[in-house]
Amino acid sequence: MLKKTIYITNPYYLRYKNRQMVLQGKGKEEVRTVPVEDIGFVVIEHPQVIITMPLLAALNANNVAVIFCDEKHMPTSMLLNLDGHHLQNEIFRQQIDASVPLKKNLWKQTVTAKISNQGALLKKLNKPYGELVSLAREVKSGDTSNREGIAARLYWKYLFGDEFNRERYGAFPNALLNYGYILLRSAVARSLTGSGLLPTLGIHHHNKYNAFCLADDIMEPYRPYVDEIVYLIKDKKRDDNLTKEDKTELLQVLTADVAIGKNKRPLMIALAQTTASLARCFAGGEQRHVSYPLF
C-alpha cells in the first residue's frame, strides 16, 4: 500500500483520536483527519506546530518517519521506530556479524548500481553517459579503485556544467539537492528499521558521529531520482531561493516510479524491497544480491 506524506507548513495542533491523526488549525474550527495507518512520512516544517505524545506513539507504532525542520526550514532530525520487526534481535546479530568480504561485495553492488543509474539519467537527458557505463563495469570489491569518485566528477560536470561543484553549503542548486537527499535518507532509514536492520551500522560509511551510516550506503543508487527532479526544477526557476513549491516537488520523489527487475512501483515501496533483500544477504547464504533499482 502506498503511504501518504503529510507536509505541514502552517501552525497546527496535532493529536490522536480514533486511530486518526487530527490536524486542527491554530485558532480555527477547521479540522482535518488522516488515518495513521495510511501515513508513511510526516514533515513538520512550521515552528508553531504542537503534537501530542499519544499521536507520536501511534505514528511510531505504525513505522511512520516523523521529520522535524529547523528555523531555516531544513530537515534536521527524525523519529523512527526501532522495534519494527518480529525478528529484530536475530537480524541485528546477523548484521553485526557480517564478514568484511560480504560487506565489500555489497558495497561493490551498491556503487555499480549508483554509477549505472547516474549514467541512465544522463542518457535520458541526452547528455554524455558512455564513460559512466564503462566505469560501472570496472567497480571492484569494496570499490578499491574509487570508481564512485571518478564517476561523480564526470556526472556532475555533465549534469550541471563545468562550473558546478557538489558541496553541502555550495552554490545553487546544492540546496535543492540537500533537501531532496535528506528526504530520501529519511525514507531509507524508515525502510531499514521496517526490515529489522539497524541504520547506524553501515557496510561502507562508518563515521562515528553518524547515526545513519547504513541509510547513507543504501540510498546511493536512489540519488539520481532526486537529481532528476532537481534538474527539472532548476530549468524553470528564476532565482536561487528554496521555495515551498520546490520542497513540494521534491517530496514527489517518495512516489516516483522505480523499476526493480520487471516490476515498477513507487520509490517508498521499492525501498522496502531493497532493504528486505539486504537483510536476507546478512542472513548468510539466503541471498547474495541486493535488489537495487534500474533507473
Q: What is the DSSP string of 185-231?
A: HHHHHHHHHHTT--TTS-SS---TT-TTHHHHHHTGGGHHHHHHHHH
- Higher-pLDDT residue of 258, 26: 258
Could you tell me if 61 and 106 lie in one domain?
no
Could you tell me if 138 and 269 lie in one domain?
yes
Say what the pLDDT of residue 220 is.
Answer: 95
| Residues 123-135: tens digit of each pLDDT | 999 999 999 999 9
Could you tell me if 11 and 111 lie in one domain?
no
- Max CA separation in the chain (angstroms): 61
Burial of 82 (0-12, 13-18, 19+ CB in 10 A): exposed
* Residue 245 Rama label (left phi>0; alpha psi -120 to 50; beta): alpha
Could you tell me if 124 and 198 lie in one domain?
yes
Q: Measured between alpha carbons, how far is 38 from 43 in angstroms, rounded to an integer?
A: 15
| CATH number for 37 | 3.100.10.20
> What is the value of pTM for the model shown?
0.86
| CATH number for 242 | 1.20.120.920
Number of domains the chain contains? 2
Asked whether residue 293 is assigned to any structural domain, the reply reads no
Could you tell me if 94 and 205 lie in one domain?
yes
> For residue 39, what is its C-alpha cell?
501515513
* 68: β partners: 44, 77
Question: Is 205 within 8 Å of 216 (Cβ atoms)?
Answer: yes
Could you tell me if 43 and 107 lie in one domain?
no
Give the SS3 label for residue 135: helix
Could you tell me if 174 and 131 lie in one domain?
yes
Burial of 70 (0-12, 13-18, 19+ CB in 10 A): exposed
> For residue 193, what is its C-alpha cell?
528499521
Site of grid cell 531555516: 72
Q: What's the CA angle centered on 160, arms 72 and 254, to 5 degrees? A: 55
- pLDDT at residue 86 above 60? no
Q: Measured between alpha carbons, how far is 111 from 169 in angstroms, rounded to an integer?
A: 24
| Residues 203-260: tens digit of each pLDDT | 887 766 677 889 999 999 999 999 999 999 987 876 778 888 888 899 889 889 999 9
Domain encompassing residue 11: 4-79
- Higher-pLDDT residue of 85, 14: 14
